[in-house]
Each structure stands twice: as C-alpha cells, then as structure tokens.
C-alpha cells in the first residue's frame, strides 16, 4: 500500500464508518488475556495512529470506559448499535493515539503486525511466524526504530512526549 493512502473501516452493521488519513505507524498483535477476553479471540491486532488522523465518516461512535490490567483503564470506541469495537485509547498515549482494530478495516490485509506482544499468554495452539518479532510482555524503547522504521519510531516518540 502506498504511503499516505487512506484506509476506511466500519463496524459490523455499517452505522459507523471511518477513514484513516495515514497508515498506522505500528501494528501490534497482542496476546494478553485482557485482549483475549475483550475480543473473544486468541489475540487482537491494533494499528496505532494519531487520533486526529481518524475521521468519522458516518454515525456517532460512543466511548466506553473499560478496566485494564494496569489499573489505568482504556477507552474503547464502539458502534452504539452493533457494539463492535473500532479503536481504543490506552493510558500510555491517552487520547493522542488511536489503537484501531485492524479487523474493522475494509482491507485488513494492508496492516499485518509488526510485532507480537504479551506472548507469555498466547494460546498454545497458535504458532508465531518464524520471523515475527515477539516479546513476552512488551518491547523496549531502544527497539522502536528496528520494529517500526525511522518514521514510525518518530511518530511513536512524539505521542509519548519524547
């Protein structure tokens, strides 16, 4: 996919549609138990993008405060009708970053994971790709450039304030 190409997504019922003005700078495949519980699946794939780059095209999504293992909670943005989670805001980057559920994109194939996180709790029947960067919990700040490239790492650092 070309740099800057817009990506569009929607909930299951189509009441809420959105567009990303730029591709995610990082894509996490998270295997933590909270993501397993919230999705009813083995993992979630989240594309990280600056919140102002998420444009709601139709509908009015609602934000639901949800508990998290950190105790800081997360805000999940959902369709008020079908309740599908479209993106989240986690405590670390707050409302500055949207963790877009890649599965809600019209073309989820465009955003494969850069990294697998919380693999300590991945389902034992799921085999990670052999070349996939994987972390028992989370990667270190010194690995941002290698994982997400110079541009992605710079965008990540800007949102984290340094």
What's the angle, vertex CA 29, arms to CA 24 and CA 30, rounded to 5?
120
- Domain assignment present for 81: yes
**What's the pTM value of the predicted model, to 2 decimals?**
0.91
d(CA 17, CA 11): 7
Question: How much is the pLDDT for 162?
Answer: 62
Nearest-Å Rg of the Cα atoms of the chain is 15
- Domain assignment present for 2: no
Q: In which domain, by residue range, is 133 found?
A: 7-155
- Domain assignment present for 96: yes
- Domain assignment present for 1: no
- Domain assignment present for 54: yes
- Domain assignment present for 161: no
**For the segment 10-53, what is each residue's pLDDT rounded down to a tens digit?**
999 999 999 999 999 999 999 999 889 989 999 999 999 999 99
The number of domains in the chain is: 1
Three-state DSSP at 50 gives strand
The CATH code of the domain that includes 86 is 2.170.150.70
- Domain assignment present for 160: no
Question: How much is the pLDDT for 2?
Answer: 42
d(CA 151, CA 10): 27
- Domain assignment present for 92: yes
Burial 127-144 (b: 16+ CB within 10 A, else e): eeeeeeebbeeebeeeeb
Bridge-based pairing of strands 17-20 and 54-58 is antiparallel
């Amino acid at each position: 996919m070309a740099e800057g190409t817009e990506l569009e997504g929607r909930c299951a019922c189509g009441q809420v549609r959105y567009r990303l003005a730029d591709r995610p700078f990082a894509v996490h495949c998270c295997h933590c138990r909270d993501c397993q519980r919230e999705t009813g699946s083995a993992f979630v794939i989240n594309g990280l993008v600056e919140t102002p780059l998420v444009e709601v095209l139709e509908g009015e999504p609602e934000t639901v405060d949800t508990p998290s293992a950190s105790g800081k909670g997360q805000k999940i943005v959902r369709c008020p009708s079908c309740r599908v989670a479209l993106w989240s805001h986690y405590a670390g980057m707050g409302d500055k970053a949207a963790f877009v559920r890649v599965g809600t994109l019209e073309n989820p194939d465009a955003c494969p994971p850069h990294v697998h996180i919380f693999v300590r709790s991945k389902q034992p029947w799921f085999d990670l790709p052999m070349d996939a960067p994987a972390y028992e919990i989370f990667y270190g700040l010194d690995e941002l450039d290698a994982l997400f490239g110079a541009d992605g790492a710079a965008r990540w650092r800007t949102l984290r304030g340094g």
